[in-house]
Amino acid sequence: KRSIAVMTSGGDAQGMNSVVRAVVRTAIFKNCQPFAIMEGYEGLVRGGPDYITPLKWEDVSGWNAIGGTNIGTARCMKFKEREGRLLGCFHLIQAGIDALIVCGGDGSLTGADLFRAEWPSLVSELLKTKKITQEEAQTYESLNICGVVGSIDNDMCSTDATIGAYSALSRICEAVDYVEATAASHSRAFVIEVMGRHCGWLALMAGISTSADFIFIPEEAVNPGTWRDEMCETISRHRKRNKRTTIVIVAEGALDRDLNPVTANDIYKTLVDRLKLDTRITTLGHVQRGGSAVAYDRVLATLQGVEAVNAVLDSVAGSASPIITVSENKIMRKSLVDSVKLTKSVASAIAAKDFGKVLSLRDPEFIE
């Protein structure tokens, strides 16, 4: 009977619990033993039954409706060192596990594929230092990894949606709708800062959904000399049409073309100084990660969790890791390494001020 472990890592996202639930139940359905790795890679490094825990069918009952991740997530510096990964390898072998499904962002998935690539040398080292037997070394000669992308930012190339993104978007829309009521009552302007350090998907989609007056995102860097005029001109035009509210949405990573941040404070000052608007800043912060997942994320997480179990069971020893994506509504397997590489090249294109390249790189068709 094979053992398959699942972990959630990096920033939490709504829908992660649905991934765990789907993995656990599919594993049982396929006659495998599911395990949860608690607290992300920290649990792998610490090991033992408190951190590597078998789960039963009923243990994940009702998890579709619960936000966050019930098995915990963490940032773990030790796993970035070989020594931490050596401990992780030892603890997985101790628990009899040779397949791992990681739900997280690009950092977590990079770590997962590195762990898989390094696995044979970690096993040799454990054998040499007599931590494991020859038989164990043979049984666990390779590790199968599969990535599922959990991130509220929708910041992974090669997939149309990451798990949690539509839930966070929904939270933002609810919050903006609340703010609209007070904005209309007082004829106020609101500058709303949303998450997204390298990816403006949340800000852009929230702007469209709430009919915001102006949007700032990292991918479409504004001209440092003219953005204030352009924003004020647009907002004045809207106000002249008797609009009583002004909503400006800014991603936390928004930039101008000199790569200076465009902050909520800059925007606030401009609205107050130039347009004399009664203006407030609302930073939504962790509210965006809160609450339960919207139906789309529950469905996506469930379908991807099922496919992740299929992928690790199909996996050929030593082959590169897949990630599970969604492209044109189809659940697909793509190359984990290529997807992460492409995602990182978007950040490099922003850093190189090659803004034209940024949007084309984000095209999900780029990776097959």
Positions marked catalytic: 153
Residue 274 interacting with ligand ATP (CB under 6 A): no
Stretch of 71-79, 120-128, 227-235, 263-271 contacting ligand ATP, by CB under 6 A: 71-79
**Between 79 and 216, CB nearer to ligand ATP:** 79
| Selected binder of ligand ATP within 69, 108, 158, 288 (CB under 6 A) | 108
| Selected binder of ligand ATP within 8, 9, 282, 321 (CB under 6 A) | 9
Residue 287 has a CB neighbour count (10 Å cut-off) of 16
User: Looking only at Cα atoms, what is the longest distance across the chain?
Assistant: 79
Residue 75 interacting with ligand ATP (CB under 6 A): yes
**Between 83 and 229, CB nearer to ligand ATP:** 83
| Selected binder of ligand ATP within 47, 54, 107, 290 (CB under 6 A) | 107
For residues 149 and 158, what is the distance between their CA atoms, to the nearest angstrom?
10
Q: How would you class 240 by CB atoms within 10 Å of its CB: exposed for 0-12, middle for 13-18, buried for 19 or more?
A: exposed
Residue 299 interacting with ligand ATP (CB under 6 A): no
Please list, residue by residue across 329-365, b when 16 or more beta carbons sit within 10 angstroms of its beta carbon and e when fewer do: eebbbbbbbbbbebbebbbebbeeeeeeebeebbebe
The residue nearest ligand ATP at its CB is 107
The token pair that represents 123 in the structure block: 């096993």
Residue 79 interacting with ligand ATP (CB under 6 A): yes
> Which residues touch 356 (CB under 8 Å, ≥6 apart)?
none
Number of H helices, E strands in the chain: 12, 11
Residue 131 interacting with ligand ATP (CB under 6 A): no
| Selected binder of ligand ATP within 8, 26, 151, 245 (CB under 6 A) | 151
The token pair that represents 315 in the structure block: 């996996």
Task: Tell how far CA 176 is from the center of its chain.
Answer: 22
| Selected binder of ligand ATP within 106, 219, 266, 307 (CB under 6 A) | 106
- Write out the residues near ligand ATP by the rule CB under 6 A: 9-11, 41, 75-76, 79-80, 104-108, 110-111, 114, 151
